[in-house]
Amino acid sequence: STELEDLDRRHIIHPLQSAAISDRVVIVRGKGSTVWDADGNELLDATGGGLWHSHVGHGRRELAEAAAQQMERLEYFTSYQEFGNDRTVELAVRLAGLSPGDLNKVFFTSGGSESVETAIKAARLYHARRDEPDRTWIISRYYGYHGANYGSGTLTGFPPMQLGVGPNLPHVEKVSPPYLYRAAEMYGDKDPTDFLIDELEQTIQRLGPGNVAAMIGEPVMGGGGVLTPPADYWPRVRQVLDRHGILLIADEVITAFGRTGAWFDSARRLMEPDIITTAKGITSGYFSFGAVLLRDGIGDTIIQDMGFFHGYTFSGHPVGAAVALANLDIMEREDLPGNALAIGEWFKAGLAPLADVPTVGDVRVEGAAAAIEMVTDRGTREPMAFPDVFGLTARIRAEYGVISRPYAHNIILSPPLVMNEEEVRRTSTAIVEVLSRAAR
Ligand code: PMP
């Protein structure tokens, strides 16, 4: 394994890699919520394959078989223009049935960033086709995560993603997130939703209501640290946008397919989106795949005239669709959205002792997604520096064999939705013990 690690170091640039990170863990196998490294060390995966994507867990033969059967029958033939394939038809019908409202049109992609790019192009084109070509601005939110490409990366509200690689996508404006732990510093003594709605309205007025195409937001912010908005937030955002003819894009790349306990979290938050972006859990990571769901009226409008001149070589991949269908079968059969809710309750109980750890500012749990917000001081709420958070997760892994994920100043938990009570307890214990000892 040392040789593998050395070769990895010599040849691979990892996403978000910095020279300061010297750890290298080469994962070679997985089963359920467990993975093994090249030395045979067993690790409990509390991150769902690292990036919230493993819903049905690792090593599912059923998904491997679905992929193999489809590869043998037809690996891929383009779905451009007049061509299509049976698997994507079946999947599109299934997605239309699961999704809220009249989001019955589906555009397939190879992942989340592509889904977001597709959504913003579709939103701008929709307005252009309706003789409102000035509607070009897209509103997103600080702390939102929407991808790493130029469009999706510009919408993303983490400054490091945009530093040194500009110019970024023009006509993107960011507003504040619903971040209740930091309500006092962000909103003063105003009601959070009142503040956020006023800010949104002012932003729209400044840009010119006739110049705004869409707002994009995650129903519950994932990468930003599992930020659940107040119950009246999305309904009031929707009202403002409706008043100005602005589309709402729900970025459900993390939340769709059960992560927070619902097939589509936007439905639960009364968001009523016009477009939904998905990826990750749609195949549980067994295939790089995504889908964008659009309202009938939007889908019908963008294919008029010149058509929707957009698409990727692997848009509508039948192997991805076959895997997604088998994945959805497992999730329905095993009621994984239901288990996500149980995981949330187990985490709330298991992580409760963190209330006594002075470096833990806040613990937020939303189904099978959790964030532990680390601070240097509970009074000032000063965020802990990333290298220190990274160091804590490295200790949790080294001392207890549990993988959690450091992101900004949060420790993120997003286990496979199949995780059982004992595994959640083991994860919680490891975290509580390491954080308690480190804070002494
Ligand atoms: N949107 C959200 C909400 C995400 O969390 C992510 C990935 N973390 C993306 C979009 C981008 O997806 P991908 O990394 O598959 O391009």
CA Rg value for the chain? 22
pLDDT of residue 364: 98
Helix axes 86-98, 318-333, angle to 10 degrees: 40
What number does the ligand 1 atom closest to the CA of 149 have? Answer: 16
pTM over 0.90: yes
86: three-class secondary structure by DSSP: helix
Cβ 289 under 6 angstroms from ligand 1: no
Cβ 141 under 6 angstroms from ligand 1: no
Here the ipTM equals: 0.99
Q: What is the b/e burial string over 306-322, where b = at least 16 CB atoms within 10 angstroms of the residue's CB?
A: eebeebbebbbbbbbbb
404: three-class secondary structure by DSSP: coil
Ligand 1 pocket check: which of 16, 161, 259, 280 to mutate, most ligand atoms within 8 Å of Cβ?
280
pLDDT of residue 159: 82
What are the residue ranges spanned by the domains of the chain? 2-56+335-439, 63-333
Cβ 116 under 6 angstroms from ligand 1: yes
* CA 146 to ligand 1 center in whole angstroms: 5
* CA 4 to ligand 1 center in whole angstroms: 28
H-only helix segments in 181-232: 183-187, 192-207
CATH 3.30.9.10 fits 63-333, yes or no: no
CATH T-level topology, domain 2-56+335-439: Aspartate Aminotransferase, domain 1 (3.90.1150)
pLDDT of residue 1: 74
Taking only the tens of pLDDT, the chain with its 440 residues reads 788 888 988 999 998 888 877 788 999 999 999 999 999 999 999 999 999 999 999 999 999 999 999 999 999 999 998 999 999 999 999 999 999 999 999 999 999 999 999 999 999 999 999 999 999 999 999 999 999 999 999 999 988 888 899 999 999 999 999 999 999 999 999 999 999 999 999 999 999 999 999 999 999 999 999 999 999 999 999 999 999 999 999 999 999 999 999 999 999 999 999 999 999 999 999 999 999 999 999 999 999 998 999 999 999 999 999 999 999 999 999 999 999 999 999 999 999 999 999 999 999 999 999 999 999 999 999 999 999 999 999 999 999 999 999 999 999 999 999 999 999 999 999 999 999 999 99
pLDDT of residue 24: 84
What number does the ligand 1 atom closest to the CA of 114 have? Answer: 16
Pairing of strands 172-175, 137-141: parallel
pLDDT of residue 157: 94
Ligand 1 pocket check: which of 141, 253, 276, 288 to mutate, most ligand atoms within 8 Å of Cβ?
253
* CA 284 to ligand 1 center in whole angstroms: 13
Cβ 251 under 6 angstroms from ligand 1: yes
pLDDT of residue 161: 82
Spatial distance between the Cα atoms of 273 and 291, rounded to a whole number of angstroms? 15
DSSP 277-333: EE-GGGTTTSS--EEEEE-HHHHHHHTSTT------TTTT-HHHHHHHHHHHHHHHH
